[in-house]
Amino acid sequence: MHRNPWPGVAQASLFAVISLLSACIDSQGIAPQAERLDVAQLDPGSTIRRAEQEAAWPHAQWWRAYGDPQLNAWMDQALADSPSLAMAAARVRQARALAGVVESAEQPQVNLDANVQRKRWPDDYFYGPGELARTTSWNNTSLLGFSYDLDLWGRERSRSHQALDQARVAVAEARLAALELQGNLVRSYIRLALLHGEKDVAQASLAQQEHILRLAEQRLRDGIGTRLEISRAEAPLPETHRQIDALNESIALTRNQLAALAGKGPGEGERLQRPTLDLQRLPSLPAQLPLELLGRRPDLVASRWQVAAQARGIEVAKAGFYPNVNLLGGIGSSATQGGVLDFLRYDKLTYNLGPALSLPMFDGGLRRGQLGAAAAEYDLAVEHYNQTLVGALQQVADALVRIKSLRQQQALAAEAVVAAQKTCDLALLAQQRGLTGFDAVLETQPTLFQRQLQQQQVRAALLNAQADLLLALGGGALPEPVGPSAASLAPREPRLRFLPKP
């Protein structure tokens, strides 16, 4: 038997021809241009650098830092029942399923096709007037087909990795949706606390106005007052009642908003009591900045996976410039005459097996355009990551600046309330002793209540700044540190002093 003296020549020639033909479409000159920012090269600023000396991460359930059991329970309901989080979870399942669809292309494919037909054969030019003309017979076929993409250039593998990266993006985006829900709920809860504080101020103002009215009426009965004093004392009462009604309306609307965020009906929001938020449990920043600070933010995680997915897209586009080699095969049978099951006989058997080659020769710039689009999409993903990273640093720095300023404002607002209360008490005492007129008492009241209102607003702004900082940290990552119970850290609401009764 004659043997081929050059056993490897045929294989080498085949690959040489494929390589030569694949050079018909050139991919050179198309490459991504964007580069990811190195976080270590970004100056975090003096504000963040000062925070590097602080301690540990906040807990992932960062809202527990406020020490409000009602907020904790409401947040648990929101995370369990929110429609927005359910939609995010559905998108994650969809992305994972699509990744499985793409990954299936890497595996061998086996298909079975069979048909059993009763057919009447015509007598025409195509079929001819043969023996089957104007007769009816069974026309049955079956084929068990096999195909396997050899994926010599890694195109299908790159597609699978790209789909998995997209699934990871969906997971990170679901975490981002949860974080946004947490932030919106906490901000609404802080607004509810502020509205209650403003209502306290309005009710205190109403109580003092009613007290002043009683004093004016008593002075008139004693013969030392006038009806003008009574009229002046009565004038602010309707507006104060209106403000209280408006605050009650805002409280009800905020409760409805909190119920909607938790996926509940408005009736559930009516059960919400006054918040008891604690300002003394602000968690410190992590020791490692900025990598450890920002690395776990879900938006940055999603951006990094998006960059990885687009990098896989470039590999897929590059693989399109090379031949696609598949292994195809099939076994089946075919029978035109005879019984209905004659196609299952051995003598009706047919089979095929061999490689299939698909080679791009000229496509009018299609593949170069696809590669250029993939490179541009990669550049967009990289720049989006860079923009997200820079924005994250700004959010942290802004939150730290606001917290530092608001802490100073809180101390100054408390001093202003004490000073205004002292002035109000002295004016009333002087009026009761006959040292001043009643006008002095009336003039001190608006200042006191304005200072109390500003104190409540500063407190709410500080609570919001704390939430912004925790959100900028991505919600935290480490276990909650052991410390005093929430009950022992329950805040003491600043009591609004009333004027002494006559």
Q: Is 437 helix (H, G, I), strand (E, B) or coil?
A: coil
pTM of the predicted model as reported, rounded to 2 decimal places:
0.74
pLDDT digit string, tens, across residues 28-71: 666 665 565 565 555 555 444 443 333 334 457 888 888 889 99
Q: What is the token pair recorded at 497?
A: 């002093």
What are the residues facing 119 on neighbouring strands?
A: 137
First to last CA, the chain: 129
Per-residue pLDDT at 280: 64
pLDDT digit string, tens, across residues 79-100: 988 888 889 889 889 888 888 8
pLDDT digit string, tens, across residues 404-424: 899 899 999 999 999 988 888
Q: Is the pLDDT of residue 297 over 60?
A: yes
Residue 285's φ and ψ, nearest 5 degrees, are -85, 160
Q: What is the token pair recorded at 278?
A: 């604690």
Per-residue pLDDT at 488: 31
pLDDT, greater one: 14 or 449: 449
Q: Is 86 helix (H, G, I), strand (E, B) or coil?
A: helix
Q: What is the token pair recorded at 88?
A: 């995010």
The C-alpha torsion from 121 through 123 and 126 to 129, rounded to 10°, is 110
Strands 118-120 and 136-138: antiparallel
Q: Is the pLDDT of residue 149 over 80?
A: yes
Strands 118-120 and 109-115: unpaired
pLDDT digit string, tens, across residues 157-207: 888 888 888 888 998 888 889 989 999 999 999 999 999 999 998 998 898
Residue % of the chain over a pLDDT of 90:
18
Residues 6 or more apart whose Cβ sits within 8 Å of residue 482: none
Q: What is the token pair recorded at 246?
A: 């408006």
**What is the rounded average pLDDT of the residues 282-297?**
60
pLDDT band of residue 135 (cuts 50, 70, 90) is: confident
Most confident of 34-43, 125-134, 335-344: 335-344
Q: Domains of the chain: which residue ranges?
A: 31-105+154-187+224-232+250-322+369-472, 108-149+324-359
Cα–Cα–Cα angle for 488, 496, 247, rounded to 5 degrees: 95
Per-residue pLDDT at 103: 86
Confirm if 333 and 350 have CB atoms less than 8 A apart.
yes
The Cα 201–Cα 448 span in angstroms is 10
Most confident of 6-10, 203-207, 425-429: 203-207
Confirm if 188 and 261 have CB atoms less than 8 A apart.
yes
Most confident of 287-296, 332-341, 418-427: 418-427
**What is the rounded average pLDDT of the residues 295-302?**
83
Per-residue pLDDT at 71: 92
- Cis-peptide into 323, omega within 30 deg: no
Per-residue pLDDT at 35: 65
**What is the rounded average pLDDT of the residues 228-255?**
92
pLDDT digit string, tens, across residues 243-275: 999 999 999 999 999 999 988 888 888 889 999
Confirm if 370 and 317 have CB atoms less than 8 A apart.
yes
Per-residue pLDDT at 264: 87
Per-residue pLDDT at 286: 52
**What is the rounded average pLDDT of the residues 475-495?**
36
Average pLDDT over the chain, rounded to whole?
78
Does 31-105+154-187+224-232+250-322+369-472 match 108-149+324-359 in CATH topology?
no
Residues 6 or more apart whose Cβ sits within 8 Å of residue 291: 39, 40
What are the residues facing 355 on neighbouring strands?
A: 327
Instruction: Tell me the CA distances in angstroms from 476 to 188, 285, 286, 392, 467, one per residue in order.
Output: 21, 10, 9, 14, 12
Per-residue pLDDT at 227: 86
Confirm if 134 and 122 have CB atoms less than 8 A apart.
yes
Instruction: Quickly tell me which residue has 């000062």 as its tokens.
Output: 50
Fold of the domain built from segment(s) 31-105+154-187+224-232+250-322+369-472: Outer membrane efflux proteins (OEP) (1.20.1600)
State the amino acid at position 420 in one-letter form.
A
The Cα 422–Cα 445 span in angstroms is 11
Q: Is 328 helix (H, G, I), strand (E, B) or coil?
A: strand
Query: Is 108-149+324-359 in CATH node 2.20.200?
Result: yes
